Structure 1
Amino acid sequence: MEAVKLMRELKTNFEQEMNYLPKETGLCLIESTRENDRQGISGKCRDAKVEDLWSLTSFFGYSTQTFVLAVNLLDRFLAMMKVQPKHLACISISCLHIAAKAVEEECNLSSTNELIRISQCKFTVSDLTRMEKIISEKLNFQLKAITALTFLHLYHRITLSHTSDRKEALNLDTLEAQLKACLCRITFSKAKPSVLALSLLRQELEAMQSVDMVEIARSVQRHLKIADVELLHWRGLVAKCMSDYSSPECSRPNNKKLVWIVSRRTAQNLHTSYCNVPELPTIPEDCWDESESEDSCEDMSSGEESLSSSLGSDAEGPYFPSHFICQSNQRNKYHHTP
């Protein structure tokens, strides 16, 4: 009965997942934008901000669900609206704040002021509030979504409901860590959540050499009528992503816990009131298919420090690089450098 219930839930989510996908045309435009283009977001710029969101999620002890939802909101908004790089920090932090309010317990939410200070961005609480309103309106207030994590959890439960062997071997934390790594690349934003999650599951099950579990995954594929060619395509991209992260050339911190490294000046600024920071200028709310508005606003992107070098670690073992080693849920302390 449990298995039947799970399959019904799976089918319902499968039928609705298209409602929460970013527009592919918008994602393609982002991918084709040059990195130094000041009038549009490039794929590399988007990926860097998603890594920053990962860092902040780890720092505040937020769940994987919060991170995945924040990325979904960010991609849906960016694929719909043509925004400039100087506004991306405010947009991404707004998406994280919206996601946290939708997922986390109220007692676990960080204050808006704290979120802005730790992110080290140049905008105010009123800027963040205004941006959240814009994002919510443009997304028609659909602030919860069916994501790859939704399917990953369902696949995991379905697989374990059909077998009593090696339950401990199929580690959900491992799958979640690999999903987060994939989401740091805009390419995977074009994948159907059901297919991306199944690609991760199949890769893990085949690495475990579990014939029974692989057959269960194949049954799920047939139930959802996912084509072999589509699954094969995304499995190849997932494998390459994991391989790249495992490569010695991949830049990653040696520490196993997130350590926030800030300069002395930044450390002082973190304890300074932000009341004198000028408000973020109004952004042109042009869609991708509309003409671009003139912008004479001051560039606020200069001087912002990237947080991606402090990525939180999420998994351990030969299946994943040491960059993503599982960390505790405790909030990490500051480490001030002179």
Structure 2
Amino acid sequence: MYVLLFPIPFQMKDTGVEVQMSSWLFKQLKLHLEQEWKYQPREKGLSLIECTAENENTICPRLRNAKVEDLWSLTNFFGFATETFVLAVNILDRFLALMKVKPKHLSCIGVCCFQLAAQVVEEQCNIPSLHDVIRISQCKCTASDLKRMEKIISEKLHFDFKATTALTFLHLYHTIILCHTSERKELLNLDKLEAQLKACNCRLVFSKAKPSVLALCLLSLEVQTLKSIELFEIVLCIQKYSKISDSDLLYWRELVSKCLADYSSPACCKPDHKKLVWIVSRRTAQNLQNSYYSVPELPTIPEVGCFDGSESEDSCEDMSCGEESLSSSPPSDLEGSFFFDLKPKSKWPALSFDS
């Protein structure tokens, strides 16, 4: 039984309910470990974004990270769960790793990812209308543009949005520890861990990490801060069960530790879940209202063609710089293609760490 993975001093009491709970938790962990690869953004696409200069007409790390911070702000403004934010980032990264996107369309894409994540996580009655999201996000596109973009993203990701993320593992690990520890439950603050994960999500590099590894890094760093031998031994058992190597854990722990040091603030230690409130002057409010009803700067977004059926989903792909013809949908007023599918060109260099 899964509970026997833990050293004898830290096993749960041998009661039927507790043993069943532990068994269920580890079955869930095994299930998500088997599925996590399906929801990771393509490493090749992420690597291309990483090496993109800011003066190029495509997405660079700074633009991606800034858009994720915007998603964080939107999540706070509407009072949505951390899961909505993490899922929105996952959808965004998976899409950006598949398609070459022009910077001027990133705002529209970000809002669509936010809406798609909210539809999965939040209660339907709490999801704002497209017009409200357009107004708050100031994305300068129409509701029609958002619907068209949502269709494109949905098709490219095969309508598979309910992803296994680092937050999934963070919650599982946290629950497993609470089930097996004799320490005070409040020692391991889940809100703090979630806030730290959100900080990591704002860095493109962590999209390359396995979600299970990223979550364990956050947990192990917190346990190290608490200086609890019991919690440390439980984390070691979780690491062994999850088959996470010491080299992977140490590599990502160092990056996570540096990221958290950069983001170190009272807000990270004590997350503030209050909704964002805008205080504006009457003139600013009038300008916002006028801009809301004005013609947006971006033209209508056209649909894009599908992948070439002859290409393998697992083939090594590169970004194409050439224009492609649009699909057979009615012509749009936007010249050229919106963004491009990845095309096989050259071999990508191997990364220096296990993925």
Q: Under a length normalisation based on structure 2, what TM-score does the superposition of the two structures give?
A: 0.77
The 5 A counterparts of 1:257-336 are 258-260=276-278, 267-272=285-290, 273-274=292-293, 276-277=295-296, 279-282=299-302, 288-293=318-323, 297=334
The 5 A counterparts of 1:155-304 are 155-246=173-264, 258-260=276-278, 267-272=285-290, 273-274=292-293, 276-277=295-296, 279-282=299-302, 288-293=318-323, 297=334
Match of 1:37 among 38, 47, 56: 56
Describe the shift of the 1:162–1:68 C-alpha distance in structure 2 as closer, same or farther (beyond 3 A): same
Structure 2 spans left out of the alignment, 5+ residues: 1-18, 267-273, 308-316, 326-332, 336-355
Aligned pairs, how many? 291
Residue matched to 1:9: 28
Task: Provide, for residues 8-60 of structure 1, a one-character-per-residue CA deviation record: whole Å limited to 9, x for no partner.
Answer: 1101100110000000000010011111212x100010000000000000000
Q: Distance in 1 between matches of 2:319 and 2:139?
A: 29
Q: Distance in 2 between matches of 1:57 and 1:43?
A: 21
Describe the shift of the 1:223–1:74 C-alpha distance in structure 2 as closer, same or farther (beyond 3 A): same
Q: Distance in 1 between matches of 2:264 and 2:201?
A: 16
Residue matched to 2:349: none
SS at match of 1:168: helix
CA positional deviation for 1:276: 3.7
Q: Percent identity?
A: 59
Q: Distance in 2 between matches of 1:124 and 1:13?
A: 37
Task: Provide, for residues 274-310 of structure 1, a one-character-per-residue CA deviation record: whole Å limited to 9, x for no partner.
Answer: 3743643437668854443289959xxxxxxxxxxxx
CA positional deviation for 1:110: 1.0
Match of 1:116 among 110, 120, 134: 134
Describe the shift of the 1:267–1:82 C-alpha distance in structure 2 as closer, same or farther (beyond 3 A): same
CA positional deviation for 1:260: 3.1
What is the identity, as a one-letter code, of the residue corresponding to 2:264?
A: S
Describe the shift of the 1:95–1:266 C-alpha distance in structure 2 as closer, same or farther (beyond 3 A): farther
Retained in 1: the 8 A contact 2:89–2:201? yes
Query: Alpha carbon RMSD of aligned pairs, Å?
Result: 2.4
Q: Distance in 1 between matches of 2:114 and 2:283?
A: 26
What is the identity, as a one-letter code, of the residue corresponding to 1:115?
A: V
The answer as to 2:56 corresponding to 1:26 is: no
Retained in 2: the 8 A contact 1:16–1:146? yes
Larger RCO (alpha carbons 8 Å, 6+ apart): 1
Structure 1 spans left out of the alignment, 5+ residues: 249-255, 299-338
The answer as to 2:165 corresponding to 1:135 is: no
SS at match of 1:175: helix
Retained in 2: the 8 A contact 1:99–1:143? yes
Retained in 2: the 8 A contact 1:58–1:258? yes
SS at match of 1:154: helix
CA positional deviation for 1:108: 1.1
Describe the shift of the 1:188–1:284 C-alpha distance in structure 2 as closer, same or farther (beyond 3 A): same
CA positional deviation for 1:99: 0.3
Residue matched to 2:125: 107
What is the identity, as a one-letter code, of the residue corresponding to 2:125?
A: C
CA positional deviation for 1:72: 0.2
The answer as to 2:101 corresponding to 1:83 is: yes
Describe the shift of the 1:267–1:121 C-alpha distance in structure 2 as closer, same or farther (beyond 3 A): farther
Q: Distance in 1 between matches of 2:30 and 2:222?
A: 22
Q: Distance in 2 between matches of 1:126 and 1:281?
A: 9
Q: Distance in 2 between matches of 1:166 and 1:87?
A: 48
What is the identity, as a one-letter code, of the residue corresponding to 1:19?
A: K
Retained in 2: the 8 A contact 1:152–1:197? yes
Residue matched to 1:59: 77
Residue matched to 1:316: none
Retained in 2: the 8 A contact 1:199–1:235? yes
Q: Distance in 1 between matches of 2:109 and 2:283?
A: 25
Task: Provide, for residues 223-253 of structure 1, a one-character-per-residue CA deviation record: whole Å limited to 9, x for no partner.
Answer: 11110000000100000001111289xxxxx
Q: Distance in 1 between matches of 2:279 and 2:251?
A: 39
Q: Which runs of 4+ in 1 moved over 4 A?
A: 261-266, 283-288, 294-298
CA positional deviation for 1:210: 1.2
Residue matched to 1:302: none
